[in-house]
Structure 1
Amino acid sequence: MNTEPSSNRIIVGVDGSEYSSAALRWAGRMTERLDMPLEAITCVGIPDLFFSSRMEQGISKFTGELEESAKQLVEQALDRAFDANRPEHLSITVKFGAPAKILVEESRNAQLLIVGRHGEGGFLGQAIGSVSRACAAHSQCPVLLVGQEVENT
């Protein structure tokens, strides 16, 4: 995991969905054009962390398993996005906490934040998801919201 994030990077929020893969494809294009490293950030949400903190034994083992599962979701999204042609300077970071909060915090040390624009369902059929909305409203760098692509490009 990165301890000192570079401000010369592009970050992309990844939750393992098709929206994540679309956001990763856009991020790959942007990192290539801007010659910047790409950091894929995935978050293990508060309910998962709360549950693991309530376990008397094996807390670190369970936390490690959550982190490993999150990394596998990112790997699957990366495979869908890039096949074998992953960007050269790509790193994966797993953080524990609320995704919107973490991505907004990470945006302080980034040139661009890219997230998938879930929406079109959930509460009142909104066109943008809550994480995307929070990132667009509170990010400290420009934000690119990516919808699900019709075709692979």
Structure 2
Amino acid sequence: MGGEASTARIVVGVDGSEASIEALRQAQSLAVPLGAQIEAVAYWEFPQVYGGYVAMGIDDFEEGAGQVLKESLEKAFGPGLPDNVVSRVVRGQARESLIEASREADMIVLGRRGHGGFGGLLLGSVSSACVAHAHCPVLVVHAPEKK
């Protein structure tokens, strides 16, 4: 992973789902022995515009994505981030943004399915697109089974 002079970079897509929280944990289990940095990223977009109007009652999408990211990191790692983890919130579609991020990453780690609507799919649309089009290896992680 990565060159001798640079630290390996693992990008983790976070949407608040149990699978994305497990993706954070699995990325960390790989990052520690490799000396890699984890970049946990939550993506957000404005809703579709209908007839010139943005959906009413929805204020700060970026703040909401930031809150989801913060809560996911706390669930994955407890209070306080590990030293090798950085987080950021990015405006853009997750699928396209992760594929673009894969150009500079050494690995992408994603949950098998996020909060999308088609529960019968083997992979979610974001993870499927990344597996097919990313420029680096992609690890797809299952959510832990509920007991």
Q: TM-score, normalised by structure 1?
A: 0.78
Output one character per residue of 1:89-115: Cα deviation in whole Å (capped at 9) or x when no partner.
211121111101000000000111000
In structure 2, C-alpha distance between the alignment counterparts of 1:123 and 1:78, rounded to whole Å = 25
Q: Who is 1:30 aligned against?
A: 30
- Correspondences of 1:137-148 after superposition (within 5 Å): 137-148=132-143
- Deviation of 1:9 (Å): 0.7
More helix by share: 1
> 1:43 maps to which residue?
43
Counterpart of 1:19?
19
Give the superposition deviation at 1:47.
2.3
Percent identical across equivalent pairs?
40
Which is further off, 10-19 or 87-96? 87-96
Indicate conservation of the 8 Å contact 1:7/1:110, yes or no. no
Look up the equivalent residue of 1:30 and give its one-letter code. Answer: L
Distance across 2 between alignment mates of 1:124 and 1:68: 27
Structure 2 CA distance for aligned equivalents of residues 124 and 115 of structure 1: 16
Q: Which of 107, 112, 137 does residue 112 from structure 1 map onto?
A: 107
Whose strand fraction is larger, Structure 1's or Structure 2's? 2
In the alignment, which residue of structure 1 is the partner of 2:91?
96
SS at match of 1:43: strand
Letter paired with 1:27: A
The residue matched to 1:29 in structure 2 has which SS?
helix
Please state if 1:136 is matched with 2:131: yes
5+ long unaligned stretches in structure 1: 1-5, 56-61
Distance 1:67 1:15 in 2: 13
The alignment yields a C-alpha RMSD, in angstroms, of 2.5
Structure 2 unaligned blocks of 5 or more:
1-5
Report if the CA contact (8 A) 2:7-2:36 is conserved.
Answer: no
- CA deviations on 1:99-138 (whole Å, 9 max, x unpaired) are 010000000001110000017x844721110000001000
Matched, 1:10 2:10: yes
TM-score (norm 2): 0.81
Supply the distance in 2 between the matched residues of 1:102 and 1:128 (Cα, whole angstroms).
Answer: 18
Shift of 1:86: 3.1
Call closer, same or farther: CA 1:124–1:32 in 2, change over 3 Å.
Answer: closer
